Structure 1
């Protein structure tokens, strides 16, 4: 329990920060535009975290990835796996859950790692072949670039990051997450 307590406190703080940031910035920003539709069967599986807008819970994490698996009740397991600082560090996993909040598009989710707190998870860009995705948060303080492979070609990565500006993000805030070579 002692090792979980710092995570619990940190998760609570990040959730409250995201909520407060959302309240403070909501009137100034247009709503994020999600993709028209997410095929959940194609979306499940492993997604490597290629880049994000760094925040304290993910700082120092390397070789990180999310794994989504559908449960019989229609919700999802959302496991975040990572190493601290180096690729040689032991792998750790945080176990979370996710539910679809817009069943028409499947592009709006609520993700939860610590009850009762959840965070908005919006699929705002998605490769037609489901090779990469961009996940946003209404506050614009959180963003993830995910991919099925550990690396994206440089030109593709740069194009994806540049497109986030059309949604009100500052691409300069997005940082690559170290991943081992494929």
Structure 2
């Protein structure tokens, strides 16, 4: 009975997300991932719904800190102003450098941030999944670009890659990158 109450308490949190019954899939990640080439600015092209991303002009900037962790600066234009969230990424297992963990608070554990594919210069496909008691899981997926707009065939290829890994993209939406100001 307590699992039912927990699910009811969690429902408002997951209602703005994409969730499925059962445990998370385990997609293949980018082989021979090179963090140094990945650093810098990435623009969000498309995503599965995420309650923490509701604006437009969404982008992420990655830089290595002196302590070896990765600074993650996410920004979006929401409710007439630019909103920035700073987080930390780590590579928990150096044997799998494309499987990062990201946290935006000292009070939350690192969430998976897996780079499934990147060419470092134009496109990146990222996936994250969180198991909830192994009863269901919450999916996140992003298609990122080094520019605000990618050719349609590149976006189609990225979506196909995600679907081939068993990730449901029914709720994936394009991110509004029109009228954005570059820093």
The two structures have a TM-score, normalised by structure 2, of: 0.77
Structure 1 unaligned regions, length at least 5: 1-12
Cα distance in 2 for residues equivalent to 1:133 and 1:116: 28
> Which structure 2 residues correspond to residues 35-46 of structure 1 after superposition, within 5 A?
35-46=30-41
1:150 and 1:181 in contact (8 A); partners too: no
Structure showing the higher helix proportion among its residues: 1
Which residue of structure 2 lines up, in the alignment, with residue 32 of structure 1? 27
Structure showing the higher strand proportion among its residues: 2
Structure 2 unaligned regions, length at least 5: 1-9, 130-136
> Which structure 2 residues correspond to residues 9-20 of structure 1 after superposition, within 5 A?
none
Cα distance in 2 for residues equivalent to 1:34 and 1:113: 23
Q: Assess, with a 3 A threshold, how the Cα gap between structure 1 residues 25 and 70 changes in structure 2: closer, same or farther.
A: same
Deviation beyond 3 Å, 4+ runs, structure 1: 21-24
Q: Are 2:105 and 1:108 equivalent residues in the alignment? A: no
Q: Say how many residue pairs are matched.
A: 159
Which residue of structure 2 lines up, in the alignment, with residue 121 of structure 1? 113
Which residue of structure 2 lines up, in the alignment, with residue 163 of structure 1? 161
Q: Assess, with a 3 A threshold, how the Cα gap between structure 1 residues 116 and 68 changes in structure 2: closer, same or farther.
A: same
Q: Assess, with a 3 A threshold, how the Cα gap between structure 1 residues 98 and 154 changes in structure 2: closer, same or farther.
A: same
Of residues 44, 56, 63, the one that matches 2:57 is 63
Of residues 77, 80, 83, the one that matches 2:71 is 77
1:161 and 1:174 in contact (8 A); partners too: no
Q: Assess, with a 3 A threshold, how the Cα gap between structure 1 residues 141 and 30 changes in structure 2: closer, same or farther.
A: closer
1:49 and 1:144 in contact (8 A); partners too: yes
Cα distance in 1 for residues equivalent to 2:144 and 2:64: 18
SS of the equivalent of 2:33 reads: coil
Cα distance in 1 for residues equivalent to 2:101 and 2:166: 21
C-alpha offsets along residues 114-144 of structure 1, whole Å, 9 cap, x if unaligned?
Answer: 12212110011212x4311111013461111
C-alpha offsets along residues 82-122 of structure 1, whole Å, 9 cap, x if unaligned?
Answer: 1016xxx3212111111112212310111010122121100
Larger CA deviation: 71-80 vs 132-141: 132-141
Q: Are 2:133 and 1:141 equivalent residues in the alignment? A: no
Q: Assess, with a 3 A threshold, how the Cα gap between structure 1 residues 160 and 172 changes in structure 2: closer, same or farther.
A: same
